[in-house]
Structure 1
Amino acid sequence: MKWLQIHITVDQAQVDFAETLFLSLGAVSVTLDDAENQELLEPLPGETPLWNKVIVTGIFQQTDEEPVDAVLLTQFLENQIPNAPIRSAELEDQVWERAWMDYYEPIEISNKFWIVPEWLEPPEADAVNIKLDPGLAFGTGNHASTFLCLQWLGQTNLKDKIVIDYGCGSGILGVAALLLGAKKVYATDIDPQAVLATKQNAELNGVLDRLFVGLPEEFNSEFKNQQADVLVANILAAPLMALAPEFAKLLKPAGEFALAGVIDEQVADVSEVYQEFFDILNIEKREENWCRISGQRQVN
Protein backbone atom coordinates (compact mmCIF):
# COMPACT_ATOMS: atom_id res chain seq x y z
CA MET A 1 0.00 0.00 0.00
CA LYS A 2 1.16 3.54 -0.78
CA TRP A 3 0.35 6.85 0.84
CA LEU A 4 0.05 10.36 -0.55
CA GLN A 5 1.49 13.13 1.58
CA ILE A 6 0.47 16.75 0.95
CA HIS A 7 2.13 19.68 2.73
CA ILE A 8 0.71 23.20 2.86
CA THR A 9 2.50 26.09 4.59
CA VAL A 10 0.13 28.51 6.31
CA ASP A 11 0.03 31.29 8.88
CA GLN A 12 -0.79 30.35 12.47
CA ALA A 13 -4.34 31.71 12.12
CA GLN A 14 -5.01 29.37 9.16
CA VAL A 15 -3.92 26.14 10.85
CA ASP A 16 -7.37 25.06 12.11
CA PHE A 17 -8.90 25.71 8.68
CA ALA A 18 -6.16 23.73 6.91
CA GLU A 19 -6.59 20.81 9.33
CA THR A 20 -10.35 20.81 8.74
CA LEU A 21 -9.84 20.83 4.97
CA PHE A 22 -7.49 17.84 5.08
CA LEU A 23 -9.84 15.83 7.30
CA SER A 24 -12.87 16.68 5.13
CA LEU A 25 -10.92 15.44 2.08
CA GLY A 26 -10.29 12.07 3.74
CA ALA A 27 -6.84 12.43 5.28
CA VAL A 28 -6.10 9.59 7.69
CA SER A 29 -3.79 11.83 9.74
CA VAL A 30 -2.79 15.49 9.98
CA THR A 31 0.47 16.73 11.52
CA LEU A 32 1.93 20.18 12.23
CA ASP A 33 5.58 21.25 11.86
CA ASP A 34 7.58 24.44 12.18
CA ALA A 35 8.13 26.18 8.82
CA GLU A 36 10.76 28.72 9.92
CA ASN A 37 12.93 27.14 12.66
CA GLN A 38 11.15 29.27 15.27
CA GLU A 39 12.08 28.44 18.87
CA LEU A 40 9.18 27.86 21.25
CA LEU A 41 9.49 28.04 25.02
CA GLU A 42 8.65 24.93 27.00
CA PRO A 43 4.85 25.05 27.47
CA LEU A 44 2.90 24.89 30.66
CA PRO A 45 1.01 21.59 31.06
CA GLY A 46 -2.14 21.72 28.96
CA GLU A 47 -0.81 24.42 26.62
CA THR A 48 -0.15 23.79 22.91
CA PRO A 49 1.75 26.74 21.45
CA LEU A 50 2.13 27.08 17.66
CA TRP A 51 4.75 28.58 15.40
CA ASN A 52 4.00 31.71 13.34
CA LYS A 53 4.38 29.73 10.11
CA VAL A 54 3.23 26.11 10.14
CA ILE A 55 3.56 23.22 7.71
CA VAL A 56 0.27 21.29 7.84
CA THR A 57 0.63 17.79 6.41
CA GLY A 58 -2.20 15.48 5.40
CA ILE A 59 -1.61 11.79 4.68
CA PHE A 60 -4.01 9.98 2.34
CA GLN A 61 -4.27 6.24 1.82
CA GLN A 62 -3.65 5.12 -1.77
CA THR A 63 -5.18 1.88 -3.06
CA ASP A 64 -5.73 0.50 -6.57
CA GLU A 65 -9.48 0.54 -5.95
CA GLU A 66 -9.52 4.09 -4.55
CA PRO A 67 -6.63 6.14 -5.97
CA VAL A 68 -6.14 9.69 -4.71
CA ASP A 69 -5.63 12.42 -7.33
CA ALA A 70 -2.86 14.67 -6.03
CA VAL A 71 -3.45 17.28 -8.72
CA LEU A 72 -7.14 17.70 -7.87
CA LEU A 73 -6.41 17.88 -4.14
CA THR A 74 -3.70 20.47 -4.69
CA GLN A 75 -5.94 22.60 -6.89
CA PHE A 76 -8.73 22.47 -4.31
CA LEU A 77 -6.37 23.54 -1.52
CA GLU A 78 -4.97 26.36 -3.68
CA ASN A 79 -8.51 27.68 -4.20
CA GLN A 80 -9.34 27.48 -0.49
CA ILE A 81 -6.05 28.98 0.79
CA PRO A 82 -4.58 31.15 -1.98
CA ASN A 83 -0.82 31.86 -2.07
CA ALA A 84 -0.01 29.08 0.39
CA PRO A 85 2.94 26.94 -0.81
CA ILE A 86 1.85 23.34 -1.48
CA ARG A 87 3.85 20.21 -2.32
CA SER A 88 3.06 16.53 -2.45
CA ALA A 89 4.95 13.24 -2.34
CA GLU A 90 4.22 9.51 -2.36
CA LEU A 91 5.26 7.40 0.60
CA GLU A 92 5.91 3.69 0.63
CA ASP A 93 4.08 1.67 3.24
CA GLN A 94 5.76 1.13 6.60
CA VAL A 95 4.88 0.33 10.17
CA TRP A 96 4.13 3.87 11.39
CA GLU A 97 4.15 2.99 15.08
CA ARG A 98 7.61 1.47 14.67
CA ALA A 99 8.82 4.53 12.78
CA TRP A 100 7.69 6.78 15.65
CA MET A 101 9.40 4.56 18.21
CA ASP A 102 12.64 4.58 16.20
CA TYR A 103 12.90 8.33 16.77
CA TYR A 104 13.78 7.80 20.44
CA GLU A 105 17.11 6.59 21.78
CA PRO A 106 18.54 6.22 25.31
CA ILE A 107 19.80 9.50 26.79
CA GLU A 108 22.85 9.53 29.08
CA ILE A 109 22.38 12.11 31.85
CA SER A 110 25.65 11.38 33.61
CA ASN A 111 27.85 8.44 34.48
CA LYS A 112 25.64 5.40 35.21
CA PHE A 113 22.43 7.43 34.82
CA TRP A 114 20.23 6.95 31.73
CA ILE A 115 16.73 7.58 30.37
CA VAL A 116 15.61 4.57 28.32
CA PRO A 117 12.43 4.32 26.19
CA GLU A 118 10.48 1.40 27.60
CA TRP A 119 10.82 -0.75 24.45
CA LEU A 120 14.65 -0.56 24.39
CA GLU A 121 17.31 -2.39 26.37
CA PRO A 122 19.40 -0.17 28.68
CA PRO A 123 22.94 0.49 27.37
CA GLU A 124 24.24 -0.27 30.89
CA ALA A 125 22.20 -2.81 32.81
CA ASP A 126 23.86 -1.90 36.13
CA ALA A 127 23.20 1.85 35.79
CA VAL A 128 20.26 3.89 37.14
CA ASN A 129 17.91 3.48 34.19
CA ILE A 130 14.66 5.43 33.98
CA LYS A 131 12.20 3.59 31.74
CA LEU A 132 9.89 6.09 30.05
CA ASP A 133 6.89 6.15 27.75
CA PRO A 134 7.54 9.42 25.85
CA GLY A 135 4.01 9.62 24.46
CA LEU A 136 2.04 10.28 27.63
CA ALA A 137 2.92 13.85 28.66
CA PHE A 138 5.60 16.46 28.33
CA GLY A 139 9.03 15.65 29.72
CA THR A 140 11.26 13.07 28.04
CA GLY A 141 14.71 14.32 28.95
CA ASN A 142 15.37 15.63 25.45
CA HIS A 143 14.51 19.20 26.38
CA ALA A 144 17.36 21.21 27.89
CA SER A 145 15.44 22.24 31.02
CA THR A 146 14.42 18.65 31.80
CA PHE A 147 17.99 17.49 31.23
CA LEU A 148 19.30 20.18 33.59
CA CYS A 149 16.94 19.02 36.35
CA LEU A 150 17.89 15.38 35.87
CA GLN A 151 21.56 16.29 35.91
CA TRP A 152 21.07 18.17 39.19
CA LEU A 153 19.17 15.28 40.76
CA GLY A 154 22.02 12.96 39.78
CA GLN A 155 24.48 15.24 41.60
CA THR A 156 22.35 15.63 44.74
CA ASN A 157 22.31 13.30 47.74
CA LEU A 158 18.71 12.03 47.69
CA LYS A 159 19.11 9.01 49.95
CA ASP A 160 16.08 8.72 52.25
CA LYS A 161 14.97 12.28 51.34
CA ILE A 162 11.44 13.61 50.87
CA VAL A 163 11.24 15.20 47.40
CA ILE A 164 8.63 17.43 45.74
CA ASP A 165 8.29 17.37 41.94
CA TYR A 166 6.22 20.50 41.22
CA GLY A 167 4.80 20.57 37.69
CA CYS A 168 5.63 16.91 37.15
CA GLY A 169 4.58 16.45 33.49
CA SER A 170 5.55 12.87 32.61
CA GLY A 171 6.84 12.29 36.14
CA ILE A 172 10.38 11.80 34.91
CA LEU A 173 11.96 13.92 37.66
CA GLY A 174 10.02 12.29 40.49
CA VAL A 175 10.74 8.80 39.14
CA ALA A 176 14.42 9.69 38.79
CA ALA A 177 14.55 10.92 42.39
CA LEU A 178 13.10 7.64 43.65
CA LEU A 179 15.50 5.54 41.57
CA LEU A 180 18.34 7.68 42.94
CA GLY A 181 17.39 6.84 46.55
CA ALA A 182 14.64 9.24 47.64
CA LYS A 183 12.38 7.89 50.37
CA LYS A 184 9.18 9.48 49.05
CA VAL A 185 8.19 11.80 46.19
CA TYR A 186 5.18 14.08 46.21
CA ALA A 187 4.36 15.17 42.65
CA THR A 188 1.74 17.57 41.36
CA ASP A 189 0.57 19.08 38.08
CA ILE A 190 -2.38 21.14 36.87
CA ASP A 191 -2.96 18.73 33.96
CA PRO A 192 -4.89 15.49 34.72
CA GLN A 193 -3.06 13.81 31.81
CA ALA A 194 0.24 14.57 33.54
CA VAL A 195 -1.04 12.97 36.75
CA LEU A 196 -1.95 9.83 34.80
CA ALA A 197 1.40 9.81 32.97
CA THR A 198 3.32 10.16 36.22
CA LYS A 199 1.47 7.22 37.77
CA GLN A 200 2.08 5.04 34.72
CA ASN A 201 5.77 5.89 34.47
CA ALA A 202 6.21 5.33 38.22
CA GLU A 203 4.57 1.92 37.87
CA LEU A 204 6.74 1.12 34.85
CA ASN A 205 9.82 1.79 36.99
CA GLY A 206 8.58 -0.08 40.05
CA VAL A 207 8.40 2.99 42.33
CA LEU A 208 4.67 3.72 42.45
CA ASP A 209 4.43 2.62 46.08
CA ARG A 210 6.74 5.50 47.11
CA LEU A 211 5.08 8.21 45.05
CA PHE A 212 2.06 10.42 45.57
CA VAL A 213 0.79 12.39 42.57
CA GLY A 214 -2.28 14.58 42.27
CA LEU A 215 -3.71 17.88 41.12
CA PRO A 216 -2.63 20.92 43.22
CA GLU A 217 -5.63 20.75 45.56
CA GLU A 218 -4.99 17.03 46.15
CA PHE A 219 -1.30 17.69 46.70
CA ASN A 220 -2.04 20.47 49.22
CA SER A 221 -4.33 18.17 51.16
CA GLU A 222 -1.88 15.23 51.14
CA PHE A 223 1.24 17.25 51.98
CA LYS A 224 -0.36 19.36 54.71
CA ASN A 225 1.84 20.02 57.79
CA GLN A 226 4.95 18.59 56.12
CA GLN A 227 8.15 19.97 54.64
CA ALA A 228 10.38 18.40 52.00
CA ASP A 229 14.16 17.98 51.94
CA VAL A 230 14.36 18.65 48.20
CA LEU A 231 12.14 20.50 45.70
CA VAL A 232 12.47 20.50 41.92
CA ALA A 233 10.23 22.55 39.61
CA ASN A 234 10.56 22.53 35.83
CA ILE A 235 7.87 24.97 34.69
CA LEU A 236 8.23 28.60 33.47
CA ALA A 237 9.58 31.85 34.90
CA ALA A 238 6.25 33.58 35.66
CA PRO A 239 4.70 30.73 37.70
CA LEU A 240 8.06 30.07 39.36
CA MET A 241 8.19 33.66 40.61
CA ALA A 242 4.59 33.53 41.81
CA LEU A 243 5.26 30.27 43.67
CA ALA A 244 8.39 31.41 45.53
CA PRO A 245 6.60 32.07 48.89
CA GLU A 246 4.76 28.73 48.62
CA PHE A 247 7.99 26.86 47.86
CA ALA A 248 9.58 28.47 50.93
CA LYS A 249 6.79 26.96 53.06
CA LEU A 250 7.10 23.54 51.42
CA LEU A 251 10.87 23.21 51.89
CA LYS A 252 12.75 22.65 55.15
CA PRO A 253 15.36 25.19 56.28
CA ALA A 254 18.57 24.39 54.34
CA GLY A 255 16.48 22.21 52.03
CA GLU A 256 17.78 22.03 48.45
CA PHE A 257 15.94 23.21 45.36
CA ALA A 258 16.35 23.40 41.58
CA LEU A 259 14.27 25.52 39.19
CA ALA A 260 14.18 25.17 35.41
CA GLY A 261 12.15 26.32 32.43
CA VAL A 262 13.94 29.65 32.72
CA ILE A 263 15.78 31.30 29.83
CA ASP A 264 18.95 33.34 30.25
CA GLU A 265 17.18 36.71 30.11
CA GLN A 266 14.84 35.70 32.97
CA VAL A 267 17.47 34.46 35.45
CA ALA A 268 18.03 37.83 37.14
CA ASP A 269 14.30 38.42 37.73
CA VAL A 270 13.66 34.90 39.05
CA SER A 271 16.76 35.02 41.27
CA GLU A 272 15.76 38.39 42.72
CA VAL A 273 12.37 37.01 43.82
CA TYR A 274 13.89 33.84 45.29
CA GLN A 275 16.63 35.63 47.22
CA GLU A 276 14.04 36.74 49.78
CA PHE A 277 13.64 33.11 50.88
CA PHE A 278 16.54 31.17 49.38
CA ASP A 279 20.31 31.28 48.92
CA ILE A 280 21.16 30.97 45.23
CA LEU A 281 24.22 28.74 44.97
CA ASN A 282 24.49 27.89 41.29
CA ILE A 283 23.19 28.86 37.85
CA GLU A 284 23.79 26.35 35.06
CA LYS A 285 23.14 26.92 31.37
CA ARG A 286 22.49 24.46 28.54
CA GLU A 287 21.93 24.94 24.81
CA GLU A 288 22.68 28.69 24.96
CA ASN A 289 19.43 29.96 26.55
CA TRP A 290 17.99 27.41 29.01
CA CYS A 291 19.08 27.76 32.62
CA ARG A 292 18.77 26.00 35.96
CA ILE A 293 18.79 27.93 39.25
CA SER A 294 19.65 25.92 42.35
CA GLY A 295 20.40 26.57 45.99
CA GLN A 296 19.07 26.16 49.54
CA ARG A 297 16.25 27.57 51.59
CA GLN A 298 17.51 30.11 54.09
CA VAL A 299 17.81 28.85 57.66
CA ASN A 300 16.70 32.01 59.49
Structure 2
Amino acid sequence: MFELRLLCGEDQVEAVGDALEALDALSVSVEDADAHTEAEQALFGEPGMPPPKEGWQRSRVLALFARQAQAEDAARLLIAQDFFEGGRVLGIEQVPDQDWVRLTQSQFAPVEITPEFWIVPTWHEPPAAAREVIRLDPGLAFGTGTHPTTRMCLRWTARRSLAGQRVLDYGCGSGILAIGAAKFGAAVVDAVDIDEAAVRATQDNAQANGVTLRVGLPELAQGEYDTVLANILATPLKMLAPLLCGHVKPAGSLVLAGILERQADELKAAYAPYLRLEVSDSEDGWILMTGSR
Protein backbone atom coordinates (compact mmCIF):
# COMPACT_ATOMS: atom_id res chain seq x y z
CA MET A 1 0.00 0.00 0.00
CA PHE A 2 1.03 3.60 -0.59
CA GLU A 3 0.54 6.70 1.54
CA LEU A 4 0.01 10.10 -0.10
CA ARG A 5 1.06 12.92 2.24
CA LEU A 6 -0.34 16.41 1.75
CA LEU A 7 -0.07 19.78 3.50
CA CYS A 8 -3.00 22.18 3.38
CA GLY A 9 -4.80 24.87 5.34
CA GLU A 10 -7.60 24.39 7.84
CA ASP A 11 -10.25 25.66 5.41
CA GLN A 12 -9.13 23.13 2.75
CA VAL A 13 -9.30 19.97 4.86
CA GLU A 14 -12.92 19.03 4.21
CA ALA A 15 -12.72 19.51 0.43
CA VAL A 16 -9.42 17.64 0.20
CA GLY A 17 -10.77 14.78 2.29
CA ASP A 18 -13.89 14.49 0.15
CA ALA A 19 -11.80 14.50 -3.03
CA LEU A 20 -9.48 11.77 -1.72
CA GLU A 21 -12.43 9.55 -0.80
CA ALA A 22 -13.87 10.08 -4.27
CA LEU A 23 -10.49 9.01 -5.68
CA ASP A 24 -10.78 5.65 -3.86
CA ALA A 25 -8.50 6.32 -0.92
CA LEU A 26 -8.71 3.40 1.51
CA SER A 27 -8.43 5.78 4.45
CA VAL A 28 -7.92 9.49 5.09
CA SER A 29 -6.55 10.97 8.31
CA VAL A 30 -5.68 14.50 9.42
CA GLU A 31 -3.07 15.59 11.93
CA ASP A 32 -1.45 18.80 13.11
CA ALA A 33 1.51 19.58 10.87
CA ASP A 34 3.00 21.59 13.76
CA ALA A 35 2.64 18.83 16.36
CA HIS A 36 5.44 18.73 18.97
CA THR A 37 6.47 22.30 18.15
CA GLU A 38 5.66 25.64 19.80
CA ALA A 39 3.01 26.19 17.10
CA GLU A 40 1.08 23.03 18.04
CA GLN A 41 -2.68 23.57 18.43
CA ALA A 42 -5.04 21.64 20.68
CA LEU A 43 -8.50 20.82 19.36
CA PHE A 44 -10.90 19.68 22.04
CA GLY A 45 -14.49 18.46 21.78
CA GLU A 46 -16.70 16.49 24.14
CA PRO A 47 -17.26 12.82 23.27
CA GLY A 48 -20.01 12.41 20.72
CA MET A 49 -19.88 16.07 19.74
CA PRO A 50 -18.23 17.51 16.60
CA PRO A 51 -14.74 19.02 17.01
CA PRO A 52 -14.62 22.82 17.09
CA LYS A 53 -12.69 22.86 13.79
CA GLU A 54 -12.29 20.59 10.77
CA GLY A 55 -8.51 20.66 11.03
CA TRP A 56 -5.48 22.59 12.13
CA GLN A 57 -4.17 25.86 10.73
CA ARG A 58 -1.50 23.76 8.99
CA SER A 59 -2.96 20.30 8.48
CA ARG A 60 -1.14 17.21 7.29
CA VAL A 61 -3.52 14.95 5.37
CA LEU A 62 -2.56 11.30 4.94
CA ALA A 63 -4.35 9.11 2.38
CA LEU A 64 -3.76 5.40 1.93
CA PHE A 65 -4.07 3.83 -1.55
CA ALA A 66 -3.81 0.23 -2.67
CA ARG A 67 -1.51 1.05 -5.62
CA GLN A 68 1.22 3.61 -6.26
CA ALA A 69 -0.41 4.69 -9.52
CA GLN A 70 -3.60 5.61 -7.64
CA ALA A 71 -1.65 7.78 -5.18
CA GLU A 72 0.23 9.49 -8.02
CA ASP A 73 -2.99 10.15 -9.97
CA ALA A 74 -4.65 11.57 -6.85
CA ALA A 75 -1.72 13.94 -6.25
CA ARG A 76 -1.74 15.08 -9.87
CA LEU A 77 -5.50 15.72 -9.84
CA LEU A 78 -5.44 17.61 -6.53
CA ILE A 79 -2.67 19.96 -7.67
CA ALA A 80 -4.92 21.07 -10.55
CA GLN A 81 -7.87 21.96 -8.29
CA ASP A 82 -8.65 25.53 -7.20
CA PHE A 83 -9.55 24.37 -3.68
CA PHE A 84 -6.01 22.99 -3.24
CA GLU A 85 -4.32 26.29 -4.12
CA GLY A 86 -1.47 26.89 -1.67
CA GLY A 87 -1.43 23.24 -0.65
CA ARG A 88 1.58 21.00 -1.14
CA VAL A 89 2.23 17.38 -1.96
CA LEU A 90 4.77 16.20 0.62
CA GLY A 91 5.38 12.86 -1.03
CA ILE A 92 4.27 9.28 -1.58
CA GLU A 93 5.68 6.48 0.55
CA GLN A 94 5.18 2.75 0.46
CA VAL A 95 3.88 1.37 3.73
CA PRO A 96 4.35 -2.28 4.75
CA ASP A 97 1.38 -4.60 4.59
CA GLN A 98 0.13 -5.44 8.06
CA ASP A 99 -2.50 -7.57 9.68
CA TRP A 100 -4.76 -4.60 10.40
CA VAL A 101 -7.26 -6.66 12.39
CA ARG A 102 -4.53 -7.95 14.69
CA LEU A 103 -2.97 -4.48 14.90
CA THR A 104 -6.31 -2.94 15.88
CA GLN A 105 -7.00 -5.66 18.42
CA SER A 106 -3.61 -5.13 20.03
CA GLN A 107 -4.68 -1.60 20.96
CA PHE A 108 -7.49 -2.89 23.17
CA ALA A 109 -6.25 -4.70 26.26
CA PRO A 110 -8.35 -5.83 29.25
CA VAL A 111 -9.54 -2.87 31.35
CA GLU A 112 -9.45 -3.01 35.14
CA ILE A 113 -12.52 -1.61 36.89
CA THR A 114 -11.58 -3.00 40.30
CA PRO A 115 -8.87 -5.59 41.03
CA GLU A 116 -11.52 -8.33 40.68
CA PHE A 117 -13.74 -6.80 37.95
CA TRP A 118 -12.48 -6.45 34.37
CA ILE A 119 -13.72 -5.60 30.87
CA VAL A 120 -12.09 -8.10 28.50
CA PRO A 121 -12.21 -8.18 24.66
CA THR A 122 -13.06 -11.60 23.28
CA TRP A 123 -9.56 -12.09 21.84
CA HIS A 124 -7.97 -11.82 25.32
CA GLU A 125 -7.96 -14.22 28.24
CA PRO A 126 -9.26 -12.72 31.51
CA PRO A 127 -6.56 -11.78 34.05
CA ALA A 128 -5.99 -14.34 36.78
CA ALA A 129 -7.32 -11.93 39.43
CA ALA A 130 -10.64 -11.40 37.65
CA ARG A 131 -13.65 -12.72 39.54
CA GLU A 132 -16.22 -10.88 37.42
CA VAL A 133 -15.77 -10.22 33.70
CA ILE A 134 -17.71 -8.40 31.00
CA ARG A 135 -16.78 -9.59 27.51
CA LEU A 136 -17.01 -6.62 25.17
CA ASP A 137 -15.36 -5.77 21.85
CA PRO A 138 -14.98 -2.20 20.54
CA GLY A 139 -17.89 -1.38 18.24
CA LEU A 140 -20.14 1.38 16.95
CA ALA A 141 -21.92 2.07 20.24
CA PHE A 142 -20.31 4.17 22.97
CA GLY A 143 -19.08 2.35 26.06
CA THR A 144 -16.19 -0.13 25.99
CA GLY A 145 -14.78 0.49 29.45
CA THR A 146 -11.82 2.49 28.14
CA HIS A 147 -13.33 5.91 28.90
CA PRO A 148 -13.16 7.34 32.43
CA THR A 149 -16.93 7.99 32.52
CA THR A 150 -17.70 4.31 31.87
CA ARG A 151 -15.11 3.10 34.37
CA MET A 152 -16.45 5.36 37.12
CA CYS A 153 -20.02 4.15 36.61
CA LEU A 154 -18.91 0.52 36.70
CA ARG A 155 -16.79 1.11 39.82
CA TRP A 156 -19.84 2.62 41.55
CA THR A 157 -21.89 -0.43 40.55
CA ALA A 158 -19.24 -2.94 41.68
CA ARG A 159 -18.91 -1.39 45.13
CA ARG A 160 -22.61 -1.58 45.99
CA SER A 161 -25.14 -4.33 46.39
CA LEU A 162 -27.73 -4.25 43.63
CA ALA A 163 -29.24 -7.55 44.74
CA GLY A 164 -32.94 -7.65 43.89
CA GLN A 165 -32.96 -4.12 42.52
CA ARG A 166 -34.80 -2.73 39.51
CA VAL A 167 -32.22 -0.76 37.47
CA LEU A 168 -32.49 1.59 34.49
CA ASP A 169 -29.58 2.31 32.13
CA TYR A 170 -30.72 5.41 30.22
CA GLY A 171 -28.65 5.97 27.06
CA CYS A 172 -27.23 2.46 27.19
CA GLY A 173 -24.85 2.64 24.19
CA SER A 174 -23.11 -0.74 24.18
CA GLY A 175 -25.11 -1.87 27.22
CA ILE A 176 -22.03 -2.13 29.37
CA LEU A 177 -23.57 -0.45 32.44
CA ALA A 178 -26.74 -2.53 32.19
CA ILE A 179 -24.67 -5.72 31.88
CA GLY A 180 -22.61 -4.67 34.89
CA ALA A 181 -25.77 -4.10 36.93
CA ALA A 182 -27.09 -7.53 35.98
CA LYS A 183 -23.80 -9.20 36.90
CA PHE A 184 -23.84 -7.51 40.30
CA GLY A 185 -27.23 -8.84 41.27
CA ALA A 186 -29.93 -6.57 39.85
CA ALA A 187 -33.17 -8.51 39.44
CA VAL A 188 -34.57 -6.45 36.54
CA VAL A 189 -32.50 -4.23 34.24
CA ASP A 190 -34.02 -1.98 31.59
CA ALA A 191 -31.58 -0.57 29.01
CA VAL A 192 -32.83 2.15 26.65
CA ASP A 193 -31.32 4.35 23.95
CA ILE A 194 -32.59 6.65 21.19
CA ASP A 195 -30.19 4.96 18.74
CA GLU A 196 -31.47 1.68 17.29
CA ALA A 197 -27.87 0.60 16.61
CA ALA A 198 -27.18 0.93 20.33
CA VAL A 199 -30.27 -1.15 21.10
CA ARG A 200 -29.02 -3.92 18.81
CA ALA A 201 -25.50 -3.71 20.24
CA THR A 202 -26.85 -3.98 23.78
CA GLN A 203 -28.96 -7.01 22.89
CA ASP A 204 -25.96 -8.74 21.29
CA ASN A 205 -23.63 -7.89 24.18
CA ALA A 206 -26.14 -9.04 26.80
CA GLN A 207 -26.46 -12.40 25.03
CA ALA A 208 -22.68 -12.73 24.77
CA ASN A 209 -22.37 -12.14 28.51
CA GLY A 210 -25.16 -14.49 29.54
CA VAL A 211 -27.37 -11.85 31.18
CA THR A 212 -31.02 -10.99 30.65
CA LEU A 213 -31.93 -7.37 29.95
CA ARG A 214 -35.05 -5.62 28.73
CA VAL A 215 -33.73 -3.48 25.85
CA GLY A 216 -35.49 -0.91 23.70
CA LEU A 217 -36.17 2.72 22.87
CA PRO A 218 -36.73 5.22 25.73
CA GLU A 219 -40.47 4.54 26.00
CA LEU A 220 -39.57 1.10 27.39
CA ALA A 221 -38.60 2.78 30.68
CA GLN A 222 -41.71 2.88 32.86
CA GLY A 223 -42.24 3.62 36.54
CA GLU A 224 -39.66 3.96 39.29
CA TYR A 225 -36.29 2.22 39.73
CA ASP A 226 -33.99 1.57 42.67
CA THR A 227 -31.04 2.78 40.58
CA VAL A 228 -30.96 4.97 37.47
CA LEU A 229 -27.69 5.15 35.50
CA ALA A 230 -27.09 7.73 32.75
CA ASN A 231 -23.69 8.13 31.10
CA ILE A 232 -24.42 10.69 28.39
CA LEU A 233 -23.15 14.31 28.31
CA ALA A 234 -23.76 17.36 30.49
CA THR A 235 -26.14 19.21 28.14
CA PRO A 236 -28.61 16.35 27.57
CA LEU A 237 -28.33 15.38 31.24
CA LYS A 238 -29.53 18.86 32.22
CA MET A 239 -32.47 18.61 29.83
CA LEU A 240 -33.34 15.14 31.11
CA ALA A 241 -33.36 16.12 34.80
CA PRO A 242 -37.17 15.92 35.31
CA LEU A 243 -37.45 12.65 33.38
CA LEU A 244 -34.53 10.88 35.07
CA CYS A 245 -35.47 12.01 38.56
CA GLY A 246 -39.05 10.91 37.90
CA HIS A 247 -37.75 7.37 37.40
CA VAL A 248 -35.91 7.29 40.77
CA LYS A 249 -37.96 5.74 43.56
CA PRO A 250 -37.87 7.24 47.08
CA ALA A 251 -34.47 6.42 48.65
CA GLY A 252 -33.31 5.27 45.21
CA SER A 253 -30.02 6.30 43.59
CA LEU A 254 -29.30 8.44 40.52
CA VAL A 255 -25.85 8.03 38.92
CA LEU A 256 -24.76 10.50 36.24
CA ALA A 257 -21.60 10.56 34.10
CA GLY A 258 -20.31 12.24 30.97
CA ILE A 259 -19.68 15.40 33.00
CA LEU A 260 -16.52 17.50 33.04
CA GLU A 261 -15.26 18.87 36.37
CA ARG A 262 -16.09 22.43 35.33
CA GLN A 263 -19.73 21.45 34.70
CA ALA A 264 -20.47 20.26 38.26
CA ASP A 265 -22.27 23.41 39.38
CA GLU A 266 -24.45 23.45 36.23
CA LEU A 267 -25.63 19.91 36.95
CA LYS A 268 -26.24 20.62 40.64
CA ALA A 269 -28.42 23.60 39.70
CA ALA A 270 -30.36 21.65 37.06
CA TYR A 271 -31.17 18.82 39.51
CA ALA A 272 -31.68 20.94 42.64
CA PRO A 273 -35.51 21.00 42.30
CA TYR A 274 -35.56 17.20 42.46
CA LEU A 275 -32.58 16.00 44.49
CA ARG A 276 -29.13 16.99 45.68
CA LEU A 277 -26.23 15.90 43.48
CA GLU A 278 -22.70 15.36 44.80
CA VAL A 279 -19.42 14.50 43.11
CA SER A 280 -18.70 10.86 44.00
CA ASP A 281 -15.66 10.12 41.82
CA SER A 282 -13.30 11.82 39.38
CA GLU A 283 -10.81 10.71 36.75
CA ASP A 284 -8.86 12.60 34.08
CA GLY A 285 -11.01 15.73 34.32
CA TRP A 286 -14.31 13.82 34.32
CA ILE A 287 -16.60 13.39 37.33
CA LEU A 288 -19.29 11.01 38.53
CA MET A 289 -22.27 12.67 40.20
CA THR A 290 -24.77 10.83 42.38
CA GLY A 291 -27.88 11.68 44.32
CA SER A 292 -30.70 10.04 46.22
CA ARG A 293 -34.39 10.88 46.61
TM-score w.r.t. the length of structure 1 is 0.84
1:170 maps to what in 2? Answer: 174
- State the distance in 2 between where 1:9 and 1:184 align: 55
Matched, 1:244 2:245: no
Q: Deviation of residue 104 (structure 1)? A: 0.5
Cα deviation per residue 1:216-248 (whole Å; 9 max; x = unaligned)?
23x2xxx43x31110110111121111111112
Matched, 1:290 2:286: yes
Matched, 1:261 2:258: yes
Matched, 1:53 2:51: no
2:97 maps to what in 1? Answer: 93
Matched, 1:188 2:192: yes
Cα deviation per residue 1:120-163 (whole Å; 9 max; x = unaligned)?
11113752111002123111111121122112112222122111
- State the distance in 2 between where 1:95 and 1:50 align: 34
Cα deviation per residue 1:274-295 (whole Å; 9 max; x = unaligned)?
12212334342211x2111112
1:270 maps to what in 2? Answer: 267
- State the distance in 2 between where 1:117 and 1:168 align: 19
Q: Deviation of residue 257 (structure 1)? A: 1.6
1:216 maps to what in 2? Answer: 218
1:234 maps to what in 2? Answer: 231
- State the distance in 2 between where 1:154 and 1:10 align: 49
Report the secondary structure of 1:53's partner residue. Answer: coil
CA contact (8 A) 2:168 2:178 kept: yes
- State the distance in 1 between where 2:30 and 2:16 align: 13
Cα deviation per residue 1:12-66 (whole Å; 9 max; x = unaligned)?
6644432332233232x224345344222111xxx6557541654321113xxxx
Q: Deviation of residue 119 (structure 1)? A: 1.6
Q: What amino acid does structure 1 have at the position aligned with 2:287?
A: C
Listed as ranges, the gaps of 5+ residues in structure 1 are none
1:23 maps to what in 2? Answer: 21
Query: Identity percentage over the alignment?
Result: 36
CA contact (8 A) 2:119 2:136 kept: yes
Report the secondary structure of 1:21's partner residue. Answer: helix
Counterparts in 2 of 1:152 and 1:79: CA distance versus 1, 3 Å? farther
The alignment covers a number of residue pairs equal to: 279
- State the distance in 2 between where 1:264 and 1:9 align: 36
1:83 maps to what in 2? Answer: 86
2:121 maps to what in 1? Answer: 117
CA contact (8 A) 1:9 1:53 kept: no
Counterparts in 2 of 1:106 and 1:14: CA distance versus 1, 3 Å? same
Q: Which moves more between the two structures, 69-78 or 52-61?
A: 69-78
TM-score w.r.t. the length of structure 2 is 0.86
Q: Deviation of residue 85 (structure 1)? A: 5.4
Counterparts in 2 of 1:73 and 1:282: CA distance versus 1, 3 Å? closer
Counterparts in 2 of 1:60 and 1:260: CA distance versus 1, 3 Å? same
- State the distance in 2 between where 1:17 and 1:96 align: 27
Q: Deviation of residue 71 (structure 1)? A: 5.0
CA contact (8 A) 1:19 1:30 kept: no
Counterparts in 2 of 1:69 and 1:239: CA distance versus 1, 3 Å? closer
